[in-house]
Amino acid sequence: MAELILALDLPDKDKALRLLDELDGALVWCKVGMEMFTHYGPPLLAELASRKLKIFLDLKFYDIPHTVAQAVLQASLLGVDLLTVHCQGGQRMLEDCVAAREKAPKKIMLFGVTVLTSFASGEMPGISIQPKDFATSLAALANDCGLDGVVCSPQEVAQIKHEHPHLACLCPGVRPTWAGLGDQRRVATPGQAVSWGADYLVVGRPILQAKDHRDAFLRICEEMSRPL
């Protein structure tokens, strides 16, 4: 069964914690990205862990192999459950990240970012192939390097799962029919994403901007339970 991850993409910690109170008993996973982590840092992760939530730290590390491997090791010490690195960092970077993860006292899942869901065809600088084809090739690299999964558009999931059945797929770009697209391009509904094989769905604004946060969250969960 696919799992829903709430993206805590908010500028205010108190507002985020009130949202978690509203979703108490329903929420299992939350994502902390660049905005929240840059402002509040590790203490925020400790607060989330104290609420028994699973933590997806989405910082998309991308640098020289040694630097990223050390960042992975340090992140693993913060109690997170899932961490992202960029597949475009290449084989040596990804393999060093996996090796660093194995040294961590707590087992964390390591996912490789393929192509951001904000990119449409022709928008990737210096890359002429279609986003779907590029994402599929990067997923193959992630699989070969021993990562647990990839971050990809729902539209790439079926092909990635066909080629690498044991590679988990985490999908942003999930938009219910009743929510706006925002800056996303390669999108799908919750039901579509699950039917294509997604293991994790990340949703932020359709929940964060709803008048009733809990109702929006539960509506998406219900849609996930009815794959198309």
Q: Total domain count for the chain?
A: 1
| Cβ partners under 8 Å of residue 8, min gap 6 | 16, 19, 30, 31, 32, 33, 36, 204
Residue 45 pLDDT > 90: yes
Tens-place pLDDT, residues 48-96: 999 999 999 999 999 999 999 999 999 999 999 999 999 999 999 999 9
How confident is the model at residue 180, as a pLDDT?
A: 61
Rounded distance between C-alpha atoms, residue 58 and residue 72, angstroms: 12
Mean pLDDT, the chain, whole residue set: 92
pLDDT tens figures, 100-145: 999 888 889 999 999 887 777 777 777 878 888 899 999 999 999 9
How far apart, in whole angstroms, are the C-alpha atoms of residue 145 and residue 136? Answer: 14
The whole-number pLDDT of residue 226 equals 80
Domain CATH for 188: 3.20.20.70
Residue 47 has pLDDT above 70, yes or no: yes
Taking residues 174-193, report their average pLDDT.
Answer: 75
Q: How high is the pLDDT of residue 184?
A: 53
Catalytic machinery residues: 60
Domain that holds residue 91: 3-224
pLDDT at 177 (0 to 100): 80
- Does the structure show a pLDDT above 60 at 20? yes
The whole-number pLDDT of residue 183 equals: 53
Using an 8 Å Cβ cutoff, are 196 and 160 in contact? no
